[in-house]
Amino acid sequence: MLNSVWLEVGGSQMEMLVALPAGNARRPGILLSHYQHGLGPFTRRNAERLAAEGYVVVAPDHYHHTPGEPDLKKRKAGLIDTRIIADMIAATDYLRAHSRTLSDRIAIMGHCMGGRQSLLGAATIPGFACAIDCYGGGVMRAQGEGPTVFERLSGIKCPVAGFFGVHDENPPPEDVRKVEAELKRLGLKTDFHIYDDTGHAFMDTDQKRYVEASATDAWTRIFAFLAQHLAVEPAKVSS
């Protein structure tokens, strides 16, 4: 079940979806950054899917900076990197402080523009155990003043997984390969995949561009990656 909480960030109220796994045990957490349609059906399904796998999930609404704006292009114009970072800091603080969260087992993940935000957050907010970028474009440019996401990659200190389509134009495969090469140069573990016969938004079942085989493989690898890097030590049995 999804619930909403409201956090004040940058002088305005930011809605954030919260999805909890079954039971009462403390579990690893995931900061899920939304796609271009905000906290829409795709983001909601992903939050519920991740919670069903045993993760505490939060998904902040970065569009709170342009409240009431119906035009998507104008809403996206309000997504300045410094604002997005502030949103993610607030969301991460909430996630780490949540009573159900293992605060030292936190991942960051996103699709489409959320994939870009995943790299941006991992580069600027300390302590993530891993990051997952699902076809995040725009990493070679900044939104607002400051360095590009690519120029910030040296701030990432955790393993990074990435899932992309060979026919995508944002990001194009050449940008994906540059990002992967730079992460490897920095000494980070990576798990990048570029799928054949696949373009952008291939994991969204609402899109005509959905590719079932690629999406199924990506989710399988995502859950394995999360399990590896957010692993919880088994409870010790007293003798």
CA distance 13 to 7: 6
| Assigned domain for 107 exists | yes
Its pTM stands at: 0.95
Give me the amino acid identity at 9: V
| Assigned domain for 238 exists | no
Give CB contacts under 8 A, 24+ apart, made by 176-184: 178/140, 178/150, 179/119, 179/139, 179/150, 179/153, 182/150, 182/153, 183/153, 183/156
Largest Cα–Cα distance of the chain, in whole Å? 63
Predicted confidence at residue 231, as pLDDT, reads 85
Query: What CATH number does residue 190 fall under?
Result: 3.40.50.1820
Predicted confidence at residue 1, as pLDDT, reads 78
Q: Which residues of the chain fall short of a pLDDT of 70?
A: 232-239
| Assigned domain for 6 exists | yes
3-state helix vs strand vs coil in the chain, percent to 5 = 35, 25, 40
Overall number of domains in the chain: 1
| Assigned domain for 235 exists | no
Q: Which of 130, 131, 203, 129 lies closest to 164 in space, CA to CA?
A: 203
| Assigned domain for 237 exists | no
Predicted confidence at residue 239, as pLDDT, reads 30
| Assigned domain for 87 exists | yes
Predicted confidence at residue 148, as pLDDT, reads 98
pLDDT digits (tens, 9 = 90+) for 195-229: 999 999 999 999 999 999 999 999 999 999 999 99
Predicted confidence at residue 232, as pLDDT, reads 62
